[in-house]
Amino acid sequence: MICTPIPTGFFKLDGGAMYGVVPRQLWQRKHQPDENNMCTWAMRCLLVETGERKILIDTGIGDKQDEKFRSHFEPHGEDSLLGSLEKVGVRPTDITDVFLTHLHFDHVGGGVIRNAAGKLVPTFPNATYWSNQRHYDWAINPNPREAASFLKENILPLQEQGVLKFIPVPEQVGNTPASVEWLPGIKLHFVYGHTEAMMLPEIKLSDRTLLYCADLLPSHYHLGLPYVMCYDIRPLVTMEEKKWLMERAVTEGLELMFEHDPVMVSGRVRKNERGRYVMES
């Protein structure tokens, strides 16, 4: 099994929204905002090659939205989803599976494009797209808090064209996230703090175990438990899930991959002398 990070460019989000109750005077020491209080974030997908399958985890923001939409988030940078795949020798027709951690626009937008006739079609014509029923239902009937993050043009074409399949959601017992084995060597963890039934892939490689953090831990700047995004629908649940994740990362030596970190692709976590979670140097 081979894992390759796929950069798709950068975008900007409000620093206060990304760091929640943490005061700006603290978080700006790590992550300097621009004059509009906007911080730059990556959109980093992951290509997993196993057997005959080429699995793409998340798809970035895409480029089909209008200029008004793009002006809110300022997507920029030289990398693009298809361009980065091409650099590693992968064509859109080669992708067999697109695994969507959740359906917010910056994770699913690149999975649908407009063809020459202006019709919305899957970017990867031979792929099965994977979500789960609980999250899909949540996304197509969104609450007012999340409505702006779930864009139907990113979601409904996949269902209408019959390429979207659902992974069964296990019931959670207690506070520990429920997990299932999706494919040999790929385990999924279901978490509920950021949004309903987001899925985190944990991938067993020959020399390490890689956990793709999606929006539970968007960057290494968010290691501190109070560093919870305002976008999260259940912030206290996020804190419990982060603690579970990082305790496992420390005790089991997991390598964490950060989807939105503008500078760090992945790394391992330890506890310092004060009992705080920090990145290994």
Is the Cβ–Cβ distance between 82 and 92 less than 8 Å? Answer: yes
What proportions of the chain, in percent to the nearest 5, are helix, strand and coil?
25, 30, 45
Q: Which residue bears the tokens 């506070």?
A: 175
Asked if 203 and 210 touch (Cβ cutoff 8 Å), the reply is yes
Answer whether 34's CB lies under 8 Å from 77's CB: no
pLDDT score of 115: 92
Contact call for residues 212 and 203 (beta carbons, < 8 A) = yes
Q: What is the pLDDT of residues 8-36, one digit of tens each?
A: 999 999 999 999 999 999 999 999 999 99
Each residue's pLDDT tens digit, 34-74: 999 999 999 999 999 999 999 999 999 999 988 899 999 99
What does DSSP say about strands 120-122 and 112-114: parallel, antiparallel, or unpaired?
A: antiparallel
Q: Kindly report, residue by residue over 162-211, the tens digit of the pLDDT.
A: 999 999 999 988 889 999 999 999 999 999 999 999 999 999 999 999 99
For residues 112-135, average pLDDT? 96
Nearest to 81 by CA among 148, 7, 25: 7
Q: Which of 185, 187, 179, 182 is nearest to 206 (CA)?
A: 185
C-alpha of 104 from chain center: 9
Instruction: Report d(CA 80, CA 145) in Å as an integer.
Output: 29
Q: Which amino acid is at 210?
A: L
How does pLDDT run across 231-240, given as a tens digit for each residue? 999 999 999 9
Contact present, 190 and 199 (Cβ < 8 Å): yes
Residue 220 pLDDT level (bands cut at 50, 70, 90)? very high
Domains and CATH numbers, the chain: 2-279 (3.60.15.10)
Tokens 């620093």 sit at which residue?
15
Its pTM stands at 0.96
